[in-house]
Chain A
Amino acid sequence: DAGITQSPRHKVTETGTPVTLRCHQTENHRYMYWYRQDPGHGLRLIHYSYGVKDTDKGEVSDGYSVSRSKTEDFLLTLESATSSQTSVYFCATLGEGNTGELFFGEGSRLTVL
């Protein structure tokens, strides 16, 4: 357990409003990831970070931005939420020791009306 907490766990918002999801980890893992999960799809990578202030895009990054100012926090921002961004968002960290094991938070369910 990498001690990953996501907030908020549930959010309902309106189209056009900004939304920020927070991921906090206590294990000092270097790599952090934001995924979205939609019915009928596997998880899809939005953005990831390989260190403080070091981030890169995933396969579905349009409409999303991220920031990592501290090792323990990785923020995902939707500048202007759209209904297509209704989803469950998961944060994950990569365990140390080069095993490749991922640890996940419990998810943030976002509904954009």
Chain B
Amino acid sequence: KQEVTQIPAALSVPEGENLVLNCSFTDSAIYNLQWFRQDPGKGLTSLLLIQSSQREQTSGRLNASLDKSSGRSTLYIAASQPGDSATYLCAVDSNYQLIWGAGTKLIIKP
């Protein structure tokens, strides 16, 4: 059974730092992996989607990598800003079902 873990559950860093969020999964047979952002009281917004055949995807200051063999994905945020404060969730498409991590709550201190 696929399991997805995000560690740490919360992270606080000063503005301007580069940072990495982690997502690990137990079964490497995945279709794709997605990273989402959730602001308090809001729905989820898709940030990046990496297909199983891809190694990384980039969007602006965000870069997501995928290493299926080790069961890991990272979300790299460059030059963090207070507006990046949110909860970041990863979800693995495994056997046509999305399995979700519990998220990392990120706080960027001005």
The residues of A with any CB-CB pair to B shorter than 8 Å are: 4, 40-45, 58-59, 90, 92, 99-107
Number of interface residues of B (CB under 8 A): 23
Distance A99 CA – B103 CA, assembled complex (angstroms): 22
Distance A66 CA – B105 CA, assembled complex (angstroms): 31
The answer to whether A100 and B49 have CB atoms under 8 Å apart is yes
Q: Chain B residues with Cβ under 8 A from A44's Cβ?
A: 100
Q: Is B102 an interface residue (CB 8 A)?
A: yes
Q: Chain A residues with Cβ under 8 A from B42's Cβ?
A: 106-107
Q: Chain A residues with Cβ under 8 A from B66's Cβ?
A: none
The residues of B with any CB-CB pair to A shorter than 8 Å are: 4, 31-32, 34, 36, 41-46, 49, 51, 89, 91, 93, 97-103
The answer to whether A103 and B97 have CB atoms under 8 Å apart is no
**Partner pick for B98 among A40, A41, A45, CB 8 A cutoff:** A45
Contact (A104, B43) CB under 8 Å given A40-B102, A42-B102, A42-B103: yes
Q: Interface residues of A: mostly helix, strand, loop or mixed?
A: loop
CB A2 to nearest CB in B, in angstroms, measures 10
CB B96 to nearest CB in A, in angstroms, measures 10
Distance A90 CA – B42 CA, assembled complex (angstroms): 10
Q: Chain B residues with Cβ under 8 A from A90's Cβ?
A: 43-44
Q: Chain B residues with Cβ under 8 A from A59's Cβ?
A: 97
The answer to whether A102 and B102 have CB atoms under 8 Å apart is no
Which partner residue on chain B sits nearest A42 by CB separation? B100
Which partner residue on chain B sits nearest A104 by CB separation? B43
Which partner residue on chain B sits nearest A100 by CB separation? B32
CB A92 to nearest CB in B, in angstroms, measures 8
Distance A104 CA – B44 CA, assembled complex (angstroms): 6
